[in-house]
Amino acid sequence: MNSKEYIASGILELYVAGALSEKENEEVYAMMQKYPEVMQEVLSIEAAIVQLTAATSATDTTGIFDVIQTELNLSDDTSRETTIVPIQKPRSIFRYTGWAAAVILGISLIYSVLKTSDLQSELEVVQSEKEALKEQIYKANNDLTAATKLLSVLRTKDIISVPLGGQAVSPTSYAKVYWDKKANQVYLDLQGLPDPPAGKVYQVWSLTLNPLTPTSLGVIEGFSSDKDKVFDVTNTNESEAFGITLEPAGGSESPTLEQLYTLGVVASNP
């Protein structure tokens, strides 16, 4: 902690007020020896307290006692008219004590407010971290559930696996379809497709071959942001092949064959 942070911490006020432990006093003294600005701050605090208490002092009454002594010496002179001299009550030490206590109380309250504020900030940080951790755990649990479900589907003996190879527009592209006919569900592994350009989406098609009839199974939303690149769509068709084309955002009514990225035929039963 540098000298500015140390001065701003409020410990010097507690030092002047005598509210620190012996060890803390020693630490403050060491800082005063090390940093002249810390020593100057302590002197400034002490001067401020002295000015505060001096501002409440009563009028000097030293001369009153000389008057009293004169009056006592002349008390035997019966011809002299007796004069009553009003004497101001001497200032009580309790007034100084009261001001000192008020100063100490004020410093303590400021110190407590600062500590409470710091504690509140720490609690808010901890709460924020706790909520972030809960969100991560929730997401991990959901991901695990989805992965477990997918593995269960892929290991079903009735699942139909259809590899989709790259076409002229993108020969290096590839994908794979896992078709659960009983559940009318298709799972798409699209790891082999590049991210679509801005304003474009991939659209999945179910095809019958004779005559060639395409039926849209929907567009793939959020492709670029999905880490696993595994998607699922509903398919109630008697599909003989599957294809994936690149289409304008929102999809098309019929496939753009010039943008056919992958195509695969469902294997016939032996």
The answer to the question of residue 36 being in a domain is yes
The answer to the question of residue 92 being in a domain is yes
Which pLDDT does position 85 carry in this prediction? 45
Domain of 46 in residue numbering reads as 3-121
- DSSP element (H, E) containing 77: none
pLDDT band at 253 (very low <50, low <70, confident <90, very high): very high
> Do 206 and 116 have their domain in common?
no
> Do 183 and 249 have their domain in common?
yes
This prediction has a pTM of 0.47
Mean pLDDT of 23-37: 89
Which pLDDT does position 178 carry in this prediction? 92
CA gap 269, 148 in Å, rounded: 28
CA gap 172, 239 in Å, rounded: 24
> Do 191 and 249 have their domain in common?
yes
The answer to the question of residue 147 being in a domain is no
The answer to the question of residue 99 being in a domain is yes
Instruction: Give the count of domains, the chain.
Output: 2
Three-state DSSP at 263 gives strand
170-220 residue pLDDT tens: 999 999 999 988 889 999 999 999 999 999 999 999 999 889 999 999 999
